[in-house]
Amino acid sequence: MKRIIFVTILLICSSSFVHAAQRDWQGVETALGRKGAVQGDMFKVAFPRTDLSVKMGEVPVEPGLALTSWIGFKTMGKRAMVMGDLVLLETEVGPVMAKLVAEGMKITALHNHLIGTTPAVLYLHFSGKGDTAKLAGAMRAALSVSATPLGPPATEVSPAVPPDWSKVEAIFGKSGTKKGNLFQVGFPRKEKIIEKGMEVPPYLGMATGINLQMVGDKAATTGDFVLIGSEVNPVVKALVDHGIAVTAVHSHMLFETPRLFFLHFWGYDQPEKLASGLKAALDEVGKERGAAKEKH
């Protein structure tokens, strides 16, 4: 009987804790004016740049392919950590960066993800720690000095006949998320990523992300590989050998262990051909670590 009472109390306490955590994120949602997604002690909200009309050559780039700002929060006791990246036009970078700095945020990277977009688009990465409500208010203030849509997300029009991604999934050996013309799949790194004593999980950008967008009977692909130094050039070679362009290699954070490099790419071809090239590159990730284990 005592055991039953103890378990009941435990369940009630656990339920109360979950609801409390949800109430905390509701405050962030109110501050940002946008619903987000919760995973464990993390919360992430996205701001697609639906106001932009961006092309790579003649290929229209949908917001979900490469033009979505995201902000991720992770609880740290009574405080929180925030990180992410903002999709900005060149003219927006200065005002947004100035506002982030004024609000006490740290700038961790500024760079391109793609080459040759019209108009040019840059990606501003940031981080901060502190009171959750203040962090949310700071991010709202930074977004407000750009043209990023801050109201309810625009309603997306689904294609009459959704693309069939089954062959692509078979090549990757993994199911992905499908929405409209888009297919997205992630591959988390196996080791823990630590920055200043705190683990940064895959949910906060530590997973290789691959996006594909159907354009007629072809597909465009972009995303980023999350790599340690020894993996960079094997992945570059695999992509280039399969006709996929490497468009950027850079860092997103400042103090992470192990040191990571984020490799961005662009391809436009038959979906299965792109998937085969990307799978060849994925096979290079962790290969050196696996070879080292076999020697032992």
Containing domain of residue 217, as a range? 161-296
Q: Which pLDDT score, from 0 to 100, does residue 159 have? A: 81
Please check whether residues 91 and 170 belong to one and the same domain: no
- For the whole model, what pTM was predicted? 0.88
Q: Which pLDDT score, from 0 to 100, does residue 158 have? A: 76
Cα dihedral across residues 25, 226, 187, 159: positive or negative = positive
| Domain-ending residue, one of 153, 172, 193 | 153
Q: Which pLDDT score, from 0 to 100, does residue 20 have? A: 42
| Domain-ending residue, one of 102, 135, 153 | 153
Domain assignment present for 13: no
Q: Which pLDDT score, from 0 to 100, does residue 290 have? A: 54
Tens-digit pLDDT string for the chain (296 aa): 545 444 444 444 444 444 444 446 999 999 999 999 999 999 999 999 999 999 999 999 999 999 999 999 999 888 999 999 999 999 999 999 999 999 999 999 999 999 999 999 999 999 999 999 999 999 999 999 999 999 887 777 778 889 999 999 999 999 999 999 999 999 999 999 999 999 999 999 999 999 999 999 999 999 999 999 999 999 999 999 999 999 999 999 999 999 999 999 999 999 999 999 999 999 999 986 655 455 54
| Domain-ending residue, one of 110, 127, 153 | 153
Give all strands of the β-sheet with 42-48 in edge-to-edge order: 37-39, 42-48, 68-76, 79-89, 121-130, 106-111
Please check whether residues 32 and 146 belong to one and the same domain: yes
CA distance 169 to 163: 12
Please check whether residues 198 and 171 belong to one and the same domain: yes
Domain assignment present for 51: yes
Domain assignment present for 11: no
Domain assignment present for 246: yes
CA distance 29 to 98: 23
CA distance 269 to 243: 9
Please check whether residues 284 and 207 belong to one and the same domain: yes
Please check whether residues 76 and 195 belong to one and the same domain: no
Domain assignment present for 9: no
Q: Look up the CATH number of the domain holding residue 47.
A: 3.30.70
CA distance 183 to 180: 8
- The beta strands (E) that lie in 154-217 are given as 177-179, 182-188, 194-195, 198-199, 207-215
Q: Which pLDDT score, from 0 to 100, does residue 291 have? A: 53
Pairing of strands 182-188, 207-215: antiparallel
Q: Which pLDDT score, from 0 to 100, does residue 157 have? A: 73
